[in-house]
Amino acid sequence: MAESKNFSNGSIMAFIFFFAAFLASGSSTAQVPFLMWSTKSLPSLTSPPAGHITSMEELAAYLTPVFGSGSNTVLLFLQDKLSKDDFTLFGGVFGNKEESAFRNLEAALQSSSSSVSFPALEWTGESAIPTLLQQKLGASPLLVDPDTLSHLSLNTSTSNLLIINLPYCSDSLKSCKEVLSNNDEIIGKVLSSLKAKDVSYTAAYTGLQPSQAILKSSLLNQQVGRTLLQAPAADVKAPIIFSNTTGFPCIMLWAQNLSISPPGSTDFIDLAQENATVIGSMCNSTNSELVLTYVNYILRFAMSQRFYPVSARNWFTLDSVQVQVHSSGQTASFVGSHGIYAPAEYSFHCQSVSSVRDTLLVPANQNATQWKLNFVDFQIQGFSLANGTNFSYASDCASFFTAGIWMGLVTSLLMLLIFVYGLHMIMQLNTMDRFDDPKGPTISVPQSD
Amino acid sequence: MLLEWMMNGHAILYTGVTLAFWSTILIVGICYTIFDLGFRFDVAWFLTETSPFMWANLGIGLAISLSVVGAAWGIYITGSSIIGGGVKAPRIKTKNLVSIIFCEAVAIYGIIMAIVISNMAENFTGTTPETIGARNYQAGYSMFGAGLTVGFSNLFCGICVGIVGSGAALADAQNASLFVKILIVEIFGSAIGLFGVIVAILQTSKVKMGD
């Protein structure tokens, strides 16, 4: 207890500062990878811990024994931009070796006598590495074109520093792989021509600047994070909303299909595809009526809500659905109060509200028996809409257990109960062995009465 | 001692099943309450949506099966006593078959009621509660109730007659004059089965299924 009181504010601040600085140092220092391979043996390098950024001084200290004695031919492949992410993105590291853009480079690294790599070399300027190599070798750099190298005659008695500039890709991501593959081919050609000359060389591959491979690719909408493979859902159309006089939504209706079939015709007309006006609708605290006026038809949904004492809550019912033909004025009326109900705070949803199948809408007048209604994926709410335009919780017409499931459950559970009871009775039958006496005389059964 | 009783495999099984059943009910009830879905628990929906035929046939099935269970139990008890007593006193065999016949009568009541009730089941057209009509619901529930009535009455009547008959057989084996007195007790016992039959007939007297 006493120790914790010694944790002053100052030490906590210092800790936070160091932590932030540690984090910052990792992210803000520019770095380029530096790969080196040679026909002679290079001194071995203990692999640096992950995230360690090699400073130029460390590289200089490493290169001193390499180029200290004799004459060396150094071939520097300077790509405009290079970073570790290029290898990750284009190096075929995810098991797709055949798509790698660095095949010749990898082959050269593996077939060389020794190779060494600095995954993160501190980048202090474009000319840092050529200058350092120039310093170590004591030779001035010679810019070489890959094609002219075969014609170049190298003086192996002095140190040579040959620099080959390789391009980096422009903004389009697609050609990046091609550019890097081309660079790789150039490297391969150059190395093979050097091998043909039978010259002992040291080659290095690095970049003039760090590239922004990952940033570039994310700018091109290539999703790096996890994405769903499912096709994106199509946009959902808005529900039909009727607002009351104060401007708040009062009745909401959404349906995928509002299909009606007038008498005499067999196919359905989907009214949900047409535009409707909601003029003539009304809503107050106990009754709501939504009147949808289409070109040829008028649909009326009449709902009411009241308090039911047995369940002690308010329920609303869709009392009737009326279809009226504009031209002739004839009306078909369907009653829906038996099946279409929900607590007044919630909306009602049903996959199929129809008068033909699983009839939730029952014809109420003579006309209606010849009409057919079929509303698909139907959701309606006439009361208790808050200010937003979202439906409340949807009380679905489909319950968890259907009536058939309940009937099956009741019967099977009853039979199971009977079976278990019978099994229990049989299992507790015992043979009477109270009077068994293995050593006593056996009983004698008289033969006569 | 409780531990010894618990070691019994049956007790563990029944305890486990009871625990599972009640915990299921408790957890489902709690979930319904928490999510304000209590309105989904609708007994009226269950009673009106399940078909009257289910109730009718459950009644018929229970009528015959429970009666037969009662008769079988009674015969098992009496029969084993008669056979056992008859070893030492073979004269009791013939007279004590009367007890067996009293037990069997209970099964006959059961099958007669099952046939009577099943004759009342008729077809009706109608799929929603309004179109099915109150009379069909009443018929379904009455048949279920009648089946339960006759079934359970005969069940306990059969057991009763069986135990009394067993006592009668053993007493008869000891002393032949005791049998007639005990027979009177048996007659009282079998009357209760008859009561069940009468009430079941009354229950189904107003049943009229169909359109």
CA dihedral of A331, A334, A340, A343, whole degrees rounded to 10: 50
What is the pLDDT, as a whole number, of residue B52? 95
pLDDT at A266: 86
> Which residues, numbered 181 to 210 in chain B, qualify as contacts with chain A under a Cβ-Cβ cut-off of 8 Å?
none
H or E segment and range at residue A400: none
More confident position, A29 or A256: A256
- Domain B43-205: state its class: mainly alpha
CA distance A294 to chain B (A): 32
Which of B32, B49, B53, B152 best probes binding to A when mutated, by most A CB atoms within 10 angstroms? B49
User: Residue B145's closest CA among B193, B103, B189, B196?
Assistant: B196
Instruction: Answer whether B90 sits within 8 Å of A449, measured CB to CB.
Output: yes
Give the model confidence (pLDDT) of A78-134 as tens digits: 888 888 888 888 888 888 888 888 888 888 888 888 888 888 888 888 788 888 888
* A315-324 mean pLDDT: 93
User: Given the structure tokens 């797709």, which residue do they identify?
Assistant: A96
The rounded distance, in Å, linking the Cα atoms of B101 and B105 is 6
Residue-wise pLDDT for B119-165, tens only, equals 999 999 988 888 899 999 999 999 999 999 999 999 999 999 999 99
Which phi and psi (to 5°) does residue B90 adopt? Answer: -60, -15
Task: Looking at the complex, report in whole angstroms how far the Cα of residue B49 sits from the nearest Cα belonging to chain A.
Answer: 6
Contact B39 A338 (CB under 8 A): no
Q: Which letter, b or e, does each residue of A289-307 get, where b requires 16 or more Cβ atoms within 10 Å of its Cβ?
A: bbbbbbeebbbbbbbbbee
Per-residue burial over A422-441, b = 16 or more CB atoms within 10 Å of its CB, e = otherwise: eeeeeeeeeeeeeeeeeeee
**Structure confidence at residue A114 (pLDDT):** 87
Tell me the pLDDT band of A171, cut-offs 50, 70 and 90.
Answer: low
Instruction: Search chain B and give the residue with CA nearest A404.
Output: B50
**Which residues of chain B neighbour A446 with C-beta distances below 8 Å?**
90
Q: Measured between CB atoms, which of A311, A339, A449 is closest to B39?
A: A311
CB contact under 8 A, B58 and A362: no
Q: Which residue of A has its CA nearest to B129?
A: A338
Cα angle vertex B41, ends A411, A256, to 5°?
100
User: CA nearest A278: which of A261, A298, A304?
Assistant: A298
The predicted pLDDT at position A4 comes to 46
> 3-state DSSP call for residue A423?
helix
Q: Which residue has the higher pLDDT, A69 or A295?
A: A295
For A399-404, which contacts have Cβ atoms below 8 Å and span 24 or more sequence positions? A399/B40, A399/B45, A400/B40, A403/B46, A403/B49, A403/B50, A403/B51
Radius of gyration of chain A (CA): 43
CA distance A108 to A193: 13
Read off the pLDDT of residues A397-422 as tens digits, 9 standing for 90 and up: 988 899 999 999 999 999 999 888 88
Tell me how close the Cα of B86 comes to any Cα of chain A, in angstroms.
Answer: 10
d(CA A270, CA A376): 10
Whether A382 contacts A253, CB under 8 Å: no
B87 touches chain A (CB under 8 A): yes
- d(CA A148, CA A164) in angstroms, rounded, equals 11
Per-residue pLDDT band for A25 (boundaries 50, 70, 90) equals very low
User: How many inter-chain contacts (A to B, CB under 8 Å) are there?
Assistant: 40
Do residue B46 and residue A338 have CB atoms under 8 angstroms apart? no
Distance, in Å, from the CA atom of A182 to the CA atom of A86, rounded to the nearest integer, reads 14
The gap between the terminal CA atoms of chain B, to the nearest Å, is 63
pLDDT by residue (tens digit) across A353-390?
A: 988 887 888 888 888 888 999 999 999 998 888 767 78
Is A424 in contact with B50 (Cβ distance < 8 A)? no
Tell me which H or E stretch contains A109: helix A103-111
Does the pLDDT value for residue A14 go beyond 90? no
Find residues 359-398 of chain A whose CB sits inside 8 Å of chain B.
359, 362, 395
CB contact under 8 A, B91 and A338: no
Q: Are strands A73-81 and A201-209 parallel, antiparallel or unpaired?
A: parallel
Q: Which residues of B touch A443 (CB under 8 A)?
A: 87
For A234-292, give the DSSP string: PPPPPPEEEE-TTS-EEEEEE-SEEEEE-TT--SPEEGGGS--B-TT-EE-SSEEEEEE
Can you tell me the ipTM of this complex?
0.86
Name the residue in chain B with its Cα closest to that of A448: B90
- DSSP letter at A51 equals T
CB contact under 8 A, A362 and B128: yes
DSSP code, position A28? H
A311 and chain B in contact, CB less than 8 A: yes
Rounded percentage of chain A residues whose pLDDT exceeds 90: 20
Output phi, psi for B117, to 5 deg: -70, -40
Do the Cβ atoms of A145 and A71 come closer than 8 Å?
no
pLDDT at A302: 94
Q: What is the pLDDT of residues B39-80, one digit of tens each?
A: 988 898 999 999 999 999 999 999 999 999 999 999 999 999
User: According to the model, what pLDDT value does residue B178 have?
Assistant: 92
Which residues of chain B form CATH 1.20.120.610?
43-205
Nearest residue in chain B measured CA to CA from A424: B10
0.80 surpassed by pTM = no
Looking at A325-448, list the stretches that DSSP marks H as alpha helix, in order from N- to C-terminal side: 403-427
A-interface mutation test, from B12, B39, B76, most A Cβ less than 10 A away = B39
Which residue on chain B is closest to A337 by alpha carbon?
B130
Q: Which residues of A26-60 are buried (b: 16+ CB within 10 A; e: fewer)?
A: eeeeebbbbbbbbbeebeeeeeeeeeebbebebbe
Closest A-chain CA to B131: A362
Chain B interface includes A411 (CB < 8 A): yes
Rounded Cα distance, B119 and B95, in Å: 38
Provide mean pLDDT across the span B85-98.
93
> pLDDT at residue A449 above 60?
yes
The alpha-carbon gap from B208 to the nearest alpha carbon of chain A, in Å, equals 22
Residue A231 has pLDDT above 80, yes or no: no
Residue pLDDT, tens place only, A179-219? 888 888 888 888 888 888 888 888 888 888 888 766 555 55
Question: What is the set of domains in chain A, with CATH numbers?
Answer: 31-209 (no CATH), 240-396 (2.40.160.110)
Q: Stretch B70-99: mean pLDDT, rounded?
A: 94
Which DSSP state fits A98?
G
B51–A407 CB contact, under 8 Å: yes
Contacts with A231 (C-beta within 8 Å, 6 or more apart), sequence order: none
